[in-house]
Amino acid sequence: MALVDVYNLEKEKVGEVELPDAVFGVEVKKHVLHEVVVAQLARRRAGTAAVKGRSDTNRSGAKLWRQKGTGRARVGDAGSPTRRGGGTAFGPQPRGYERKVSKKVRKSALRMALSDKLSDDRLIVVDGFSIPDAKTKAFVGAIKNFDVRKALIVTADIEDSLDRSSRNVPWVKVLKAEGLNVYDILTHDHLMMDRSVIGKIQEALVS
């Protein structure tokens, strides 16, 4: 097990905590992380892009002129994709982009992302994120004590003071432990974790 320091919001050491190797000490495999991140981003796509095809246009289905004898090129109806106002050939239609990834792979990728943050010394354990008076200035000052930018904060419950003081800070994202995911961990430079969530994460990922 890895032994890491626990700090308060003034960055004063207040204790130590052990992080289990089964969650924070696994081998990082980039292809697994890539697979899970691609699937996660694909689920966010709406897939609602659509255009009118030939049969969807408000045009007559009658042949514009007879096939032979006019000296003009043969032609079909006014909804043809080659005519102005006609339908679009092979255009986008509503579809789902979701990719299936097994629960086992998702858990494995989450353990790898956490292990990567710990091995790079970008995992900070904090003994609570209670912000007095719910002031943004106080929150920013507390986070800057740790000299971090673009931080992901994970707590057991998002207190009202933390929510109100952090919502206007664009380089910080606050998540409950249940919402922890690979994409957010990898796209934030630092992971700041409430001491109380370590047990929850271990229980969820070691099975």
Closest CA to 155 of 193, 112, 105: 193
Q: Are 4 and 14 in contact (CB under 8 A)?
A: no
Q: Are 162 and 174 in contact (CB under 8 A)?
A: yes
Q: Residue 140 carries which side chain, given as an amino acid letter? A: V
For 78, the token pair is: 């006014």
| Domains recognised in the chain with CATH numbers | 2-45+101-205 (3.40.1370.10), 49-95 (no CATH)
Rounded CA separation 169/153 (Å): 12
- What is this structure's pTM? 0.84
**What is the tens place of the pLDDT at every residue in 144-174?**
999 998 999 999 988 888 999 999 999 999 9
pLDDT band at 13 (very low <50, low <70, confident <90, very high): very high
**What is the tens place of the pLDDT at every residue in 72-89?**
999 999 999 999 999 999
Q: Are 110 and 205 in contact (CB under 8 A)?
A: yes
pLDDT band at 207 (very low <50, low <70, confident <90, very high): low
157 SS3 class: coil
**What is the tens place of the pLDDT at every residue in 117-145?**
999 999 999 998 988 878 999 999 999 99
